[in-house]
Amino acid sequence: MSEVTAKQAMLKHFVATAFAYDKPDQLAVAVSGGGDSMALLHLMAEWAEEEKIRLWAVTVNHGLRPEAAEEARFVSEVAQKLQVKHTTLTWSGWSGQGNLQDAARRARYRLMADWAKAEGINTIALAHTADDQAETFFMRLARASGIDGLTGMQRRRVSDGITWVRPLLMQERFELRQYLRDLRQPWIDDPSNDNEAFDRIKARRAMEELSKLGIDIHVVGRVMDHLGQVRSALDFATHDHALDCVSEDQGDLILNRRRFAEGAPEINRRLVAHALRWIASADYGPRGMKLQEFLSAMMRGRDATLHGVRLLGGKESFRLTREHAAVAHTVAVPGAVWDGRWIVEGIEDKGLIVRALGQDGLLQLGELPDGAPPRETLSASPAVFDGNTLISAPLVRYGPATLRLAQPKGDFFTTLLSH
């Protein structure tokens, strides 16, 4: 076996092992036209053909550069030659405010997730490399991130109903470009990769200097592995603590005050951050002083609000419930997912809407039945309306609708180990 063939076989092996235990019938690969994603497209196309898996390629045109449309066409042409179906998604939501790269990244993931779910695809492969991982480490180090941030990107992560897989996270950028050269396959370099106004490019330049001290991609990778082991230990400890002090009640989380107080401060911080993220159906939880202030309110038995979640204090327990203001304008049709977590069923009329029960709905309900959840919980719960008329409030079994969480039973606890 020649050296070129051996290197290609190694890259194919990394792709195959990324899906060894969870091989989907169809999946997508995100392709920008750059060297990393073009290499992944070729590797995935060959692997998918061998495994009889239907592969899609998806490109997001952020509309920020005039060349973007041509780059998307380039990807489409290559995908067609590889007999891979290709689609281009367009983002036009940039307001000109805030962090451009962060806004574009969030939009990219949201667009791809929405498209994939509409096509019945639940897995998307991303072309992040060991270089990206090291750059992420230094960017987060500059923000004084904790253990979770410094462990970097995960090889496999579930978010917004999609499994995001990074098969090439252990490979270096130069290896993928050499692979493309061996195939005589061109790629397109994004000019923003040389723009030092962006934090990622600053991190890339800093790494070039740090390499003189022996701090290279491999060293950073080993440090991140060590931190990952620490994070795993903390996750298991938090999971065990949650089993001891947390119970779920109709989408809310109830924390036993005495047992919660027995937890170490870092474990309690992680537990509450996860609880807020879970109730709010958010990809990320709150950090820093705001989270610390929320924890202090818990320990004092006071009510508080953070991250779209309300804390209802009590002598024996705390209750974490959705904040009404966070869902006041959230609307769905019956049968669809509402607020990222609830599904209202038993209603066939698509002319009706699902929205938060609110104060107007509570007034129409009148006297609440014995054992009903707190009014704060009910106010933020999904209900069915015909205009302004309440048809059903399933959390208190009013009307014909039924209600269930979109996540499987025990999801709060299992996601402590897989977030």
The structural domains of the chain, with segments of one domain joined by +, span 3-215, 245-322, 325-405
35 in a known ligand binding site = yes
CA distance 219 to 162: 31
pTM of the entire structure? 0.80
Q: Does the annotation flag 37 for ligand binding?
A: yes
Query: What is the rounded average pLDDT of the residues 51-67?
Result: 90
185: number of Cβ within 10 Å: 15
Other CB atoms within 10 Å distance of the CB of residue 354: 27
User: What gap in Å lies between CA 209 and CA 187, rounded to an integer?
Assistant: 27
Cβ pair 105, 139 in contact under 8 A: no
CATH of domain 245-322: 3.30.465
Please say whether the beta carbons of 276 and 283 come within 8 A: no
Asked if pLDDT for residue 1 goes beyond 60, the answer is no
Residue 406 backbone dihedrals phi, psi, to 5 degrees: -70, -30
Cα distance between residue 27 and residue 372, in whole Å: 43
Say how far apart CA 197 and CA 202 lie, in whole Å. 7
C-alpha closest to that of 397 among 346, 363, 323: 346
DSSP SS3 for 214: coil
Tokens of 124: 């998307």
| 36 carries a ligand binding annotation | yes
Whether 316 contacts 257, CB under 8 Å:
yes
> What token pair was written down for 347?
């209603």
pLDDT 10s digits, 279-297: 999 877 887 789 999 999 9
Look-up of token digits 């989907």: 24
- Cβ neighbors of 405 (< 8 A, separation 6 or more) are 251, 341, 342, 343, 411
Report how far residue 136's alpha carbon sits from residue 83's, in angstroms, rounded to the nearest whole number.
Answer: 34
Q: How confident is the model at residue 161 (pLDDT cuts 50, 70, 90)?
A: confident
pLDDT at 93: 67
Strand partners for 385: 353, 390
214 Cβ partners below 8 Å, 6+ apart?
A: none
CA 225 vs. chain centroid, Å, equals: 21
Query: CA–CA separation, 119 vs 122, rounded Å?
Result: 9
Annotated binding residue at 33? yes
CATH class as words, domain 3-215: alpha beta
The Cα-based distances of 287 to 148, 274, 277, 368 in angstroms read 11, 11, 11, 37
Work out the percent of the chain whose per-residue pLDDT is above 70. 95
Mean pLDDT in residue range 161-184: 94
Mean pLDDT across the chain: 91
pLDDT of residue 194: 62
